[in-house]
Amino acid sequence: MPTWAGMTHVKVEEEDVDEKKVEILDSLISMNLTQCIDSSSMKEEEDFNFQFLEQSGTKLECDNSLEGFHFGNGGGVGGFNEDTREQLDADMDAACTTVLDLPATSSSMCLDFESLDSVDGQETNGPDESIEIGEEEALLLAAAATAADESSDRESIGPVEQTSSSQCRNKGSKGAASSGRRKTKVDWTQELHRRFVQAVEQLGVEKAIPSRILELMGVQCLTRHNIASHLQKYRSHRRHMIARDVEAASWRHRRPLTWARSQQEGNAWLAPIQTSSSFPAAHPYASAGLPTIQPRLPAHGHHIGAHLVVWGHPTVDHSPTHMWQQPPVNTLPFSQEPDSSTYWQQTAPACIDSWTHPSIFPAFPYPFFGAPYAPSFCASQLVAPGITSNERSLMDESLPVALYQTTAIDSDISAAAGAAACSKPSDFLPPQEILDAVISEALANPCTPLPLGLKPPSVAAVMAELFRQGINIVATSTS
């Protein structure tokens, strides 16, 4: 049995640092790495320095001395079993609270895959790799250690104390000194999320259920609940995005002239991505926030908007941006690197924030951009630099239309209407899946108010139109 007595030796001078230690230790436990860690060699590292690279590129230094810390000496073949680990967690919690007076975080039980990313570039994923986890996680350790060595060598130009105290903040659960024993939040790192998405896609978005996902992910530190929760959010987000896609596509369809022009003239701000493969992979996000129907369909045939890449499409998204975030458009003249502080930068305000340049667009004149899911195409258009006045008038002319569709996006009526409103119905018929998604999305948020006093068309009118086009709305009355 591993002993946690060593924990009592952890100094508490810098809480942040110590919290990080606890976190690291916890990670190690959760990694079932008993066979990978030589406890004796570990002990020799009296002043082990963990440094983690944060997404921002800043580094987390944990001036560390994990004295007398033992990793399970033969805790069993292949690591701890579930029970043992829980016991360990409990012990650890106890140690933290009673001795160290640290929050009883059995914190971040998840691997910090982010640090792993730097080493394990090409990563082999698959359903059958549950065995590899051990190695992979061993790599994490190595990565942590290596990063520590390297960056302490090359980056410690400035005073070290500076960094260690000021930057060593984690999502520290400070005051919450383990009262209710509420589970510590899972940190859905890029890598974790990537695996999640991969698993989901493997199963098929519709069929993906937590237990299976968990299985495929092969990450032991997660529970079904964790997955379920994340899945819930994933689905919700996906619906939003699909709704946006439909929305934008329908709008695009209304103003083909504008689109055509802008594309001809190479205006990245307006450049649409066509539904099929017509858009060069060179700028997969060149829609400048203009969402699109997935140009290349995944093998599983899910018609997901390309922006769902944001959600970490495993085969595409290698960007450092956070997973929920709209990736930066490299073709944009003024695009800013979005700060990776939050997952959800998808909605309009943030979209504007990260896609436009403050000096050019000091105050955006249209308040409706605060509306949920207000499509960024409006922003792109209205503020697009280098756009001709001719074009602008065209756009202005189209604004009311866009406006309506924009603000009403949350209602099933408007979403469906958006799809139905295409001038040439035969040109744009979203796949049933998308329609379904849009509808269910809308049903989920039926009462979003419409800014600017705009009203949606009557249900009857929309239904009539849909019916005329042969689109059957399956009545999924939830009441």
Partner DNA sequence: AGGCAAATAT
Partner DNA sequence: CATATTTGCC
Q: Minimum distance between the CB of residue 155 and DNA, rounded to whole angstroms?
A: 26
Q: Minimum distance between the CB of residue 185 and DNA, rounded to whole angstroms?
A: 4
Using the rule CB under 7 A, is 224 a contact of DNA?
Answer: yes
Residue among 235, 300, 357, 392 that touches DNA (CB under 7 A): 235
Q: Minimum distance between the CB of residue 171 and DNA, rounded to whole angstroms?
A: 5
CB-based contact 351:327 (threshold 8 Å): no
Using the rule CB under 7 A, is 474 a contact of DNA?
Answer: no
Kindly write out the interface string for residues 411-450 of this chain, putting x where it contacts DNA by CB under 7 A and - elsewhere: ---------------------------------x------
Residues 143-182 touching DNA, rule: CB under 7 A, are 171, 173, 176, 180-182
Residues 338-377 touching DNA, rule: CB under 7 A, are 342-344, 347
173 or 258, CB closer to DNA? 173
Using the rule CB under 7 A, is 476 a contact of DNA?
Answer: no
Provide the CB-side half-sphere exposure for 361 (13 A, CA): 20
Q: Which amino acid makes up residue 288?
A: A
Q: Minimum distance between the CB of residue 229 and DNA, rounded to whole angstroms?
A: 3
Residue 305's alpha-carbon distances to 204, 243, 474, in angstroms, are 15, 9, 22
Q: Minimum distance between the CB of residue 215 and DNA, rounded to whole angstroms?
A: 9
CA 170 – CA 173 distance, rounded (Å)? 8
Residue among 37, 228, 316, 466 that touches DNA (CB under 7 A): 228
Using the rule CB under 7 A, is 229 a contact of DNA?
Answer: yes
Using the rule CB under 7 A, is 303 a contact of DNA?
Answer: no
Using the rule CB under 7 A, is 300 a contact of DNA?
Answer: no
Phi, psi of 19 (to 5 degrees): -60, -40
Candidate segments 49-57, 90-98, 225-233, 405-413, binder of DNA by CB under 7 A? 225-233
Residue among 2, 72, 75, 210 that touches DNA (CB under 7 A): 210
21 or 253, CB closer to DNA? 21
161: alpha, beta or left? (left if phi > 0; alpha if psi -120 to 50): alpha
The count of other CB atoms within 10 Å of the CB of residue 397 is: 11
DSSP string covering 206-247: TT--HHHHHHHHT-TT--HHHHHHHHHHHHHHHHHHHHHHHH
By CB under 7 A, the count of residues binding DNA is 32
Residues 444-463 touching DNA, rule: CB under 7 A, are 444
Residues 6+ apart with CB under 8 A from 87: none
Residue among 4, 279, 324, 428 that touches DNA (CB under 7 A): 324
Q: Minimum distance between the CB of residue 109 and DNA, rounded to whole angstroms?
A: 9
Query: How big is the chain by its Cα radius of gyration, in Å?
Result: 26
DSSP string covering 374-438: --HHHHHHHH-TT--HHHHHHHHHHHHHHHHHHHTTTSHHHHHHHHHT-SSTTT----HHHHHHH
113 or 324, CB closer to DNA? 324
Closest by CA position to 309, among listed 211, 410, 198, 212 = 198
Q: Which amino acid makes up residue 106?
A: S
CA 243 – CA 227 distance, rounded (Å)? 24
Q: Which residues bind DNA (CB under 7 A)?
A: 171, 173, 176, 180-188, 209-212, 224-226, 228-233, 235, 324, 342-344, 347, 444
